[in-house]
Amino acid sequence: MSITTETAAPTSTSPGRKAPTRDRKEAWRRRGPLLPALIFTIIVTQIPFLITLAVSTLDWNIQRPGEKSFLGLGDYQSFAGLDNFVTVFTDERLRTAVLNTVLLTASVVIISTLLGLGMAVLLDRKFIGRGLARTLLIAPFLVMPVAAALLWKHALYNPDYGLINGTLNWLWQLFGAEEGPVVDWISTFPMPAVVTALVWQWTPFMMLILLAGLQSQPADVLEAAKIDRASPMQIFRHITLPHLRRYIELAALLGSVYVVQTFDAIFTITQGGPGDATTNLPYEIYLTMFRKFEYGEAAAAGVVVVIGTIVVATFALRTISSLFDEENA
């Protein structure tokens, strides 16, 4: 696990002495194997977003009769311009959804990155059963997200027979009390309940990336620091952390891009409730589409999510690109 140095040939390697036609033929011969994947990706990922963009400018509710056909895919009412975007930013529910999305993503990413860093530091040192510990730690990330959400909701958070209240009850009885406290975790703390379940799921992801970062530290630098009698804390602050910086950025940014899209956990644990306390944008878009049937608004909210993601993704791409350039230098 380290960033290895790679040596892919730069593109313009064709010697100039060749005839231009041969160059062109060679260029197409090289492009050939790439084209199926490229064309497939363009069709399946780009066209839907263009359609979303177009629908976001329409007044289109499928419960009302529409007069104008949209590419033969359905009939909409009228052209709405930017009205849907005005709705997205003024509608109370959608504004709440935007705020919830930011809150949820930021809490999950920050907490799981810190926890993941702690676990990675622990696992970077050799101890008895380290391999097994690492394997067990990956498990939360591999459990099907819907299964994990149901597990937290019913087996852990349930006020009557969930493991958390059950353990509290057992502890209380152990110390002679009649009964432990009964807390309805999901309705009392809806957002922390969702955040906890997601942190549990995402910490292994952060841990794996940060552990790879730790293990790619040049050993000679660490040894030199030890010979110079730097304390473990000094080594961590002045050598390890700067080295890890890009790995932390990468983990946090990729994590953000994925956690923004959270749908399974909201759908399963809280259905966005109570009220709209845990409704995030993906869930709100789903509701707007399939419960309110406001296609135009759903598309506009989708465009907003894309723009928000692009902002985060730009930073993520920059980090990946710096790791990538280093490898291909």
Partner 1 sequence: MTTTTETPAVTADSDVGSPPPPSRIRARRRKGKDAEEKVGPFWTVTAWVLTLLFFAPVAWMVLTSLHIEADAASNPPSVFAPITFENYGALFDRDVLPYLINSGIASVVSTLLVLVLAVPAAYALSIRPVEKWTDVMFFFLSTKFLPPIAALLPIYLIVQNAGMLDNIFTLVILYTSMNLPIAVWMMRSFLVEVPVAILESASLDGAGLVRTLVSVVMPIAAPGIAATSLICFIFSWNEFMFAVNLTSVSAATSPIFLVGFISSQGLFLAKLCAAATLVSLPVLIAGFAAQDKLVRGLSLGAVK
Cβ at position 275, least distance to partner 1 in Å: 21
The reply to whether 63 sits near partner 1 by the rule CB under 8 A is no
Binding-residue pattern over the window 76 to 115 for partner 1, x denoting contact by CB under 8 A: ----------------------------------------
Touching partner 1, residues 232-271 (CB under 8 A): 247, 250-251, 254, 257, 260-261, 263-264, 267-268
Touching partner 1, residues 292-321 (CB under 8 A): 295, 298-299, 302-303, 305-306, 309-310, 313, 316-317, 320-321
E strand or H helix that includes residue 68: strand 68-69
Binding-site member from 19, 65, 92, 125 for partner 1 (CB under 8 A): 125
Strand partners, 76: 68
The reply to whether 212 sits near partner 1 by the rule CB under 8 A is yes
**Per-residue 3-state assignment (H helix, E strand, C coil) for the chain:** CCCCCCCCCCCCCCCCCCCHHHHHHHHHHHHHHHHHHHHHHHHHHHHHHHHHHHHCCEECECCCCCCEECCCCCEECEECCCHHHHHHHHCHHHHHHHHHHHHHHHHHHHHHHHHHHHHHHHHHCCCCCHHHHHHHHHHHHHCCHHHHHHHHHHHHCCCCCCHHHHHHHHHHHHCCCCCCCCCCHHHHCHHHHHHHHHHHHHHHHHHHHHHHHHHCCCHHHHHHHHHCCCCHHHHHHHHHHHHHHHHHHHHHHHHHHHHHCCCHHHHHHHCCCCCCCCCCHHHHHHHHHHCCCEHHHHHHHHHHHHHHHHHHHHHHHHHHHHHHHHHHC
Cβ at position 185, least distance to partner 1 in Å: 14
Touching partner 1, residues 266-295 (CB under 8 A): 267-268, 281-282, 285-286, 289-290, 295
Range in contact with partner 1 (rule: CB under 8 A) among 13-21, 86-94, 237-245, 271-279: 13-21
Binding-residue pattern over the window 149 to 188 for partner 1, x denoting contact by CB under 8 A: -xxx-xxx-x-xx-x-xxx-xx--x---------------
Cβ at position 99, least distance to partner 1 in Å: 17
Cβ at position 276, least distance to partner 1 in Å: 17
The reply to whether 49 sits near partner 1 by the rule CB under 8 A is yes
Q: Which is nearer to partner 1, 5 or 21 (CB)?
A: 5
Cβ at position 27, least distance to partner 1 in Å: 7
The reply to whether 329 sits near partner 1 by the rule CB under 8 A is no
Cβ at position 106, least distance to partner 1 in Å: 17
